[in-house]
Copies of this chain bind each other. A is one copy, B any other.
Amino acid sequence: MANFLSPEALRLKPYTPGEQPRDQQYIKLNTNESPFPPSPKVLEVVTTAQVGLLNLYSDPTCKVLEDAIAECYGVEPKNVTSGNGSDEVLAFAFRAFGGEGKPMAYPDITYGCYKTWTALFGIESKVIPLQEDFTIDVEEYMDFPGTIVLANPNALTGILLPQEAIRRLLEADPGRVLIIDEAYAHFGAESLAPLTREYDNLLVVQTMSKNRNLAGARVGYAIGSAELIAAVNRVKYSFNPYNVNRLSLIAGKAALEDKDYFQQCCKAICDIRAWTVRELEALGFTVLPSYANFIFAKSDAVSGGDLYTKLRQRGILVRWFDSDRIRPFVRITIGSQTQMEALVAAVGEILKEAEA
């Protein structure tokens, strides 16, 4: 491969998705999917008649979807762009706002793709360690002369950065772009999307994968000033103009419009999360305060690696990252109440074994 590869491709740091084993039926708590099906409205609109129109291209401007997003978040369509999952939208934003003379800063513990995209686009990056308690101290970003990207709630930890801190970052340098990745928004914390009306330098990126139960449809979007959105679209039209397929456009619109179901699902995740945290804490776990559809937890009685392996043997997949600072933890997606009861029971057994 090395002979054919460009030097830039040789330098890449590809992302490793959570495992998708096929050898048995697992309780999958490793990729932060929703345990609930898509909205019934999604099932209504993705009809055989719509499938029959797949010979026609999707609308490259994604109008029906972006109008619905604009409506939902109280902005204009020119303040919205969408993509094939928020991964694509974020990758576009990295190219739009990172490059020569525009380094990017992000925390050491966060979504793994930030490192991947800076490598892909040859963007110099400054990795700023989280505090001891895994929170972000915005003071450390205040003077950074480039683009800042923060997942909020943060990936892996689930910890939320208060809106006030984000306002201060935005105001410290109105010429500096701040990307807030809200993949995990709406599980107990409000989106910062409305702030984009106040700050031209704020890009809020969301996905329908988690809070709108559409991971398999691949729908993500960004909300920001018309200037920032035009910049992201500049990259989109330089990469893949028809980037959202026909069925996902209509599925995404239907999911956005069914606000009751959305709130009901998000609330259920919050309730199940609270239950799970209580149970794990009762078993002696330390659980970081999560505003996401997952928790990040560790126990003094069992290492992260062992817990991952032993849960896997019992048919439960969680995610463990074999890297500094977070090696003792596992990341556990909040599934259905039944799934979490199975998890807690399995954890209890594993701890008993460890004591014996």
Contacts and interface: CB of A to CB of B under 8 A. Distances in A.
Interface in A89-121: 91, 95-102, 116-117, 119-121
The main secondary structure of chain A at its interface with chain B is loop
Contacts of A61: 20
Contacts of A55: 33-38, 213-216
A350 interface: no
Given A5-B231, A217-B245, A240 B84 contact: yes
Contacts of A97: 4-6, 9
Given A1-B227, A235-B12, A245-B217, A7 B56 contact: no
A101 B61 CA distance: 36
Nearest to A48: B43
A3 B175 contact: yes
B58 A99 contact: no
Interface stretch (A187-195, A246-254, A272-280, A312-320): A246-254
Copies in the complex: 2
Interface string A37-65: 11000110010100111111111110000
Interface residues of A, number: 88
Given A6-B97, A38-B51, A245 B231 contact: no
A317 to B, nearest CB: 13
A96 B4 CA distance: 8
Contact of A14 (B1, B87, B234): B234
Contacts of A246: 216-217
A284 B219 CA distance: 48
Contacts of A14: 233-234, 236-238
Nearest to A63: B22
A7 B98 CA distance: 9
Contacts of A95: 6, 8-9, 120
Contact of A17 (B31, B87, B227, B242): B242
A260 B219 CA distance: 33
Interface in A204-251: 209, 213-218, 227-228, 230-231, 233-248, 251
A154 interface: no
A88 B240 contact: yes
Contacts of A42: 51, 54
Listed residue (A55, A59, A121, A235) with the most chain B CB atoms within 10 angstroms of its CB: A55
Given A33-B55, A55-B37, A4 B238 contact: no
A157 interface: no
A259 interface: no
Given A38-B54, A38-B55, 6 more contacts: A12-B238, A20-B59, A33-B55, A85-B242, A117-B238, A117-B239
29 contacts: A1-B231, A1-B234, A4-B228, A5-B96, A5-B231, A5-B234, A7-B101, A14-B234, A14-B237, A14-B238, A15-B237, A17-B241, A17-B242, A33-B56, A37-B53, A42-B51, A46-B51, A54-B213, A54-B215, A55-B215, A58-B216, A84-B245, A85-B242, A91-B239, A116-B239, A117-B239, A120-B235, A217-B245, A218-B245
Which 10 residue pairs of A and B lie closest in terms of their CB atoms, listed nearest first?
A6-B99, A14-B237, A216-B246, A55-B213, A8-B99, A54-B216, A218-B245, A12-B238, A57-B215, A87-B240
